[in-house]
Chains A and B, each alone.
Chain A
Amino acid sequence: MIMKISMKKRQNLTGWAVLTPAVILIVVMNFVPLFRAFLMSFQTGRTGKMTFAGITNYTRVLQDSRAADALKITVEYVVVTVPVIIALALIMAVLLNDPRLKLKGIYRTCIFVPAAVSMVASAVIFRSLFAADGFVNSILVGLGILQNGYNFLGHPTSARIILMIVRVWKMLGYQMIFFLAGLQSIDSGIYEAAKIDGATSLQQFFKITVPMLKPTMVFAFVMSINAAIQVYDESVNLTNGGPGNATMPIAHYIYNTAFAGVPNFGYACALSMIILVVVGTITLIQMKVGDRRE
């Protein structure tokens, strides 16, 4: 008996020991800097010579019309891209999960390709494709749809749409792999039984696939919303926020506040803290909603 307890204890210690390196790294690389950013959010002044400023940075946020615009752009971006990516990825995954389908590996690789292209490279590609005389315009003019090339990235609305397209293009493959993995863990016997009962493919999709994939979908939603809110490298590289500030999401605005022009790091930190709270709240709500229906 005593032997057994000590064995348990020993195992428990082993457990803690193997966790330690990973946990220490996460704490040092995430929580410690976060705490320091939190402290800096109460400071103001030039980097290197910051002084305590109380909550002025936070009250400043309320008067910042550019932050409000950036937030609006972010919300729009999230609301459009996340459902589109998830819906498309789900459709692709279901189609690819068909055991009779040929050339599966090729389709899968093709759809995954964009995820392997770095953002810097993607930006170069899309800027060229959508340039006023780029490939897309040549096609549209060639087909007689447009008379002259349209400067897609030069107009606010179309630039925002292209940023969304790039996001869908890049994330579709990742998301699809998630759903494929989820689908493969569904017992194919269920589908067989449904078929015998005369269920159509559409019925099978909504009555079996969707409910069975629910945990995956909740997870996918949480992850993609989190990631989309924090997006900045896409706009930094592709449009640099322009034209004007029309494609500058909040994280990009924070990045510029901290690192471009005349830097104001204290204020950037205060903005980040607000994002953290927003993301945290959204995640919590999603988790709760996801749990309840289960």
Chain B
Amino acid sequence: MRKRLMALCLAVVMVMGILAGCGSDKDNGKTNDGKDKNAETVNKLTVWCWDPAFNINAMNVAADIYKKDHPDFEMEVVEISSADIIQKLSTSTSAGNTADVLPDIILFDDGLIAQEVLSYPDVFMDLTDSGIDFSEFSEGKVAASVVDGKNYGVPFDSGAAIAAYRVDILKEAGYTIEDLTDITWSEFIKIGKDVKQKTGKALLNGQSGYNQITVMLTSCGGSYFDEDGKLNMSDNKKVKRVSELYLEMLEAGVFQEETGWDTYIGNLNNGNVAGAMNGCWIMSSIQAAADQSGLWAITNVPKVDGVDGATNYSSQGGSTWTITTECDNPELAIDFFKSTFAGSKEFYDKILETSAISTWIPAGESETYQQESEFFGGQKVYATIVDFTAKIPSCVMGAYMGTARTAHMTAVTNVAYSGADLDEELAAAEETVAFEMGQ
């Protein structure tokens, strides 16, 4: 009888094994192809990025172009959110299995790249001497992926900030796009209040104030860290002024906070707000509402009045490709970038329709960039943005940039909704960031 029992146990284990095994073996096999160390499959690159209509599309277009001269080349793009990429970096470095998990190429938001390179120093490949000509990219853009004087990224799309407005709604309130060009935030808020009163619509919305505050802070060259990397939030004129302006805007209903990315885009598309201010990539979201063609126009962002170094230009987002040290064929990856993202006008022309605006200077000189956009009422939007890109002030980045931004946002939220004191909240935010930095 004991034998039978043993048999039963064995049977259970086997059933589990078979059930699980049939799936897992197959999965395993497939996982391995992506990361195979054999010479045969070394023609393949695996990429992590997240937006099918934007960066995934760009990667696929680049792959098609590269395939023309390299017929054996293969590319696998994995759709994975930015938050998941960060989680996977954390887990795989902790488990020591970066070789099995990480792909050859990862895309990062410009605001995160320094943080990730500093947090995981051995994961990203130093591209300084790779032969990619970084001087052909706009300077401010390249700076986002330079850590300790070394280049860690191949710049992709521009994050140059634009202010896009619904001309029809502005007209209803008696304004034109010129009235919102080259203005200060104080003027902007005045107009915003008027528009709100006349049309009931907010001028802007956003997924909390996260992107908005970055746009504002960057436009005056502000940061949470000084040049030596020292944290300063509580005694920081720019941070304080930006917070005050943002709070005033929120209070007056000129800016509408949304909880999720989905509702942000949703409200934008259904005409519930009169404008959008973000990195220029937001154009692809705006243009999704095809029925609003001709109703939009873009201009530069307002200037933060009352602080030094204020400009009408800023950046938010934009992204940069990195190559991981787990890449089995770095020569291939570098050659791929040289022939596409860092060397092909054809490529940038092809992806322009998705509003992916190049930071590779030669691409901006292309004819395609001079085209007029029907959606934006015949404006030469791409050329305008290329012009904006060159004027973005540079800011100090740090490993705890993301943490500091979140803390700043929390402070502002507390002031806005719980009536807390701004100075106290900024001091508390500084403490929070210092607490995390002191781990």
A21-B9, A21-B13, A131-B267 known; A243-B402 Cβ under 8 A? no
CA distance A284 to B12 in the complex (A): 35
Q: Which of A124, A151, A260 is close to B256, meaning CB atoms less than 8 Å apart?
A: A151
Q: Which of B9, B12, B13, B94 has the most C-beta atoms of chain A within 10 angstroms of its own C-beta?
A: B94
> Is A108 an interface position by the 8 A CB rule?
no
> Is A86 an interface position by the 8 A CB rule?
no
* Residues of chain A within 8 A of B439, CB atoms compared: 44-45, 60, 262, 264, 267
Q: Is the CB of A243 within 8 A of B208?
A: yes
A132-B272, A261-B403 known; A10-B83 Cβ under 8 A? no
- In the complex, which residue of chain B has the Cβ closest to the Cβ of A130? B259
CA distance A286 to B400 in the complex (A): 43
Q: Is the CB of B2 within 8 A of A10?
A: yes
Smallest CB separation, A19 vs chain B (Å):
11
Residues of B within 8 A of A (CB): 1-2, 5-6, 8-9, 12-13, 83, 86-87, 90-91, 93-96, 115, 119-120, 200, 205, 208, 253, 256-260, 262-263, 266-267, 270, 272, 399-400, 402-403, 406, 409-414, 417-418, 428, 431-432, 435-436, 439
* Residues of chain A within 8 A of B267, CB atoms compared: 131-133
Smallest CB separation, A16 vs chain B (Å):
10
Q: Is the CB of A20 within 8 A of B9?
A: yes
A18-64: which residues lie under 8 A (CB-CB) from chain B?
Answer: 18, 20-21, 44-48, 60, 63-64
> Is A13 an interface position by the 8 A CB rule?
yes
A to B CB contacts below 8 Å, 10 in the list: A14-B2, A17-B6, A131-B258, A131-B267, A153-B260, A154-B208, A157-B417, A261-B403, A262-B403, A262-B436
A154-B257, A156-B417, A243-B257 known; A132-B87 Cβ under 8 A? no
* Residues of chain A within 8 A of B91, CB atoms compared: 47, 259
Smallest CB separation, B249 vs chain A (Å):
14
Q: Is the CB of A132 within 8 A of B2?
A: no
* Residues of chain A within 8 A of B94, CB atoms compared: 47-48, 263, 265
Q: Is the CB of B9 within 8 A of A131?
A: no
CA distance A41 to B131 in the complex (A): 44
A20-B9, A46-B119, A151-B258 known; A259-B410 Cβ under 8 A? no
> Is A148 an interface position by the 8 A CB rule?
yes
Q: Is the CB of A131 within 8 A of B263?
A: yes
Q: Is the CB of A244 within 8 A of B410?
A: yes
* Residues of chain B within 8 A of A45, CB atoms compared: 439
CA distance A148 to B253 in the complex (A): 11
Smallest CB separation, B436 vs chain A (Å):
7
Q: Is the CB of A262 within 8 A of B417?
A: no
A21-B12, A131-B263, A262-B399 known; A245-B410 Cβ under 8 A? yes
* Residues of chain B within 8 A of A48, CB atoms compared: 93-96
Report the tally of A-B residue pairs with Cβ distances under 8 A: 135
> Is A128 an interface position by the 8 A CB rule?
yes
CA distance A242 to B414 in the complex (A): 11
Known: A64-B435, A261-B86. 7 other contacts (CB 8 A): A131-B258, A133-B267, A244-B413, A258-B90, A261-B403, A262-B399, A262-B439
Q: Is the CB of A156 within 8 A of B413?
A: yes
* Residues of chain B within 8 A of A118, CB atoms compared: none
- In the complex, which residue of chain A has the Cβ closest to the Cβ of B98? A48
Q: Is the CB of A133 within 8 A of B272?
A: yes
* Residues of chain B within 8 A of A166, CB atoms compared: none
Smallest CB separation, A267 vs chain B (Å):
6
Smallest CB separation, B33 vs chain A (Å):
26
Q: Which of A127, A245, A261 is close to B259, meaning CB atoms less than 8 Å apart?
A: A127
Q: Is the CB of B263 within 8 A of A128?
A: yes
- In the complex, which residue of chain A has the Cβ closest to the Cβ of B412? A244
* Residues of chain A within 8 A of B260, CB atoms compared: 123, 127, 153, 239-240
A131-B266, A132-B258, A151-B257 known; A242-B2 Cβ under 8 A? no
- In the complex, which residue of chain A has the Cβ closest to the Cβ of B403? A261
The 10 closest A-B CB pairs, nearest first, are A244-B413, A47-B94, A153-B259, A244-B410, A131-B263, A263-B90, A154-B257, A48-B93, A259-B87, A243-B413
CA distance A263 to B260 in the complex (A): 23
CA distance A18 to B7 in the complex (A): 11
**Interface residues on chain A, number (Cβ under 8 Å):** 50
> Is A78 an interface position by the 8 A CB rule?
no
Q: Is the CB of B432 within 8 A of A154?
A: no
> Is A155 an interface position by the 8 A CB rule?
yes
> Is A207 an interface position by the 8 A CB rule?
no
Q: Is the CB of A243 within 8 A of B417?
A: yes
* Residues of chain A within 8 A of B90, CB atoms compared: 47, 258-259, 263, 265
- In the complex, which residue of chain A has the Cβ closest to the Cβ of B416? A243
A251-273: which residues lie under 8 A (CB-CB) from chain B?
Answer: 258-265, 267
CA distance A137 to B284 in the complex (A): 27
Smallest CB separation, B393 vs chain A (Å):
25
- In the complex, which residue of chain A has the Cβ closest to the Cβ of B200? A148
- In the complex, which residue of chain A has the Cβ closest to the Cβ of B94? A47
* Residues of chain A within 8 A of B272, CB atoms compared: 132-133
A64-B435, A260-B87 known; A159-B259 Cβ under 8 A? yes
> Is A75 an interface position by the 8 A CB rule?
no
> Is A185 an interface position by the 8 A CB rule?
no
- In the complex, which residue of chain A has the Cβ closest to the Cβ of B90? A263
CA distance A13 to B205 in the complex (A): 67
> Is A8 an interface position by the 8 A CB rule?
no
- In the complex, which residue of chain B has the Cβ closest to the Cβ of A56? B439
Q: Which of A132, A245, A258 is close to B263, meaning CB atoms less than 8 Å apart?
A: A132
> Is A246 an interface position by the 8 A CB rule?
yes
CA distance A245 to B3 in the complex (A): 59
* Residues of chain A within 8 A of B256, CB atoms compared: 132, 151, 154
Smallest CB separation, A262 vs chain B (Å):
5
- In the complex, which residue of chain B has the Cβ closest to the Cβ of A248? B410
Q: Is the CB of A128 within 8 A of B266?
A: yes
Q: Is the CB of B266 within 8 A of A65?
A: no
* Residues of chain B within 8 A of A155, CB atoms compared: 417
Q: Is the CB of B435 within 8 A of A239?
A: no
* Residues of chain B within 8 A of A132, CB atoms compared: 205, 256, 258, 263, 267, 272
Q: Which of B6, B86, B263, B270 is close to A259, meaning CB atoms less than 8 Å apart?
A: B86
CA distance A114 to B19 in the complex (A): 30
CA distance A156 to B12 in the complex (A): 51
Smallest CB separation, A197 vs chain B (Å):
53
